[in-house]
Amino acid sequence: MAKLTVKDVDLKGKKVLVRVDFNVPLKDGVITNDNRISAALPTIKYIIEQGGRAILFSHLGRVKEEADKEGKSLAPVAADLAAKLGQDVVFPGVTRGAELEEAINNLKDGEVLLVENTRFEDVDGKKNLKTIQNLVNTGLHLVTESSLTMHSVLHTVHTHLT
């Protein structure tokens, strides 16, 4: 089966999960280099211009224990992305659970949601494959924007999409 690109799918009214690489450098909560955010903009803009609902997920930094979470929230990225897109970005500040599901279900066509740092729940690791599957199962399409994260287990669950 040939791989499809985001332009091969009718996105109107669809939830589109996008694995982005927003692992950007932060200093005191301020992004010091936004190249990775800017690199994802064409894909995100295309999805929302086509009436899709973009659900973005990324990791930021290395989080091995609770103390490592300090300063690793994607909140500054959500604010930067909103400014670049010229529209609000929904940021529920969680990686799973009812709050995330509700935020995803409340998205309207052309809106963007950024899931909190996936490493907060080890979502990038093999320990939480079920969490990954649950996140993927909330969407109809999965788009990989980042070639740098292709090794991630997130990219092995595309077969679960219908």
Burial class (CB in 10 A: 0-12, 13-18, 19+), 85: middle
What's residue 150's pLDDT? 45
Could you report the per-residue pLDDT of 15-26, keeping only the tens digit for each?
A: 888 889 999 999
Per CATH, the homologous superfamily of domain 11-160 is: Phosphoglycerate kinase, N-terminal domain (3.40.50.1260)
- How far apart CA 20 and CA 3 sit, in angstroms, is 18
Upper half-sphere CA count for residue 60 (Cβ side, 13 Å): 29
The CA distance from 81 to 58, in Å, is 13
Domain boundaries, the chain: 11-160
Query: Per the structure block, which two tokens stand in for 108?
Result: 């309207």
What is the predicted pLDDT for the residue at 152?
46
**Tens digits of residue pLDDT in 78-135:** 999 999 999 999 999 998 888 988 999 999 999 999 999 888 776 445 544 555 566 6
DSSP 8-state secondary structure symbol assigned to residue 158: G
Q: How many CB atoms lie within 10 A of CB 122?
A: 14
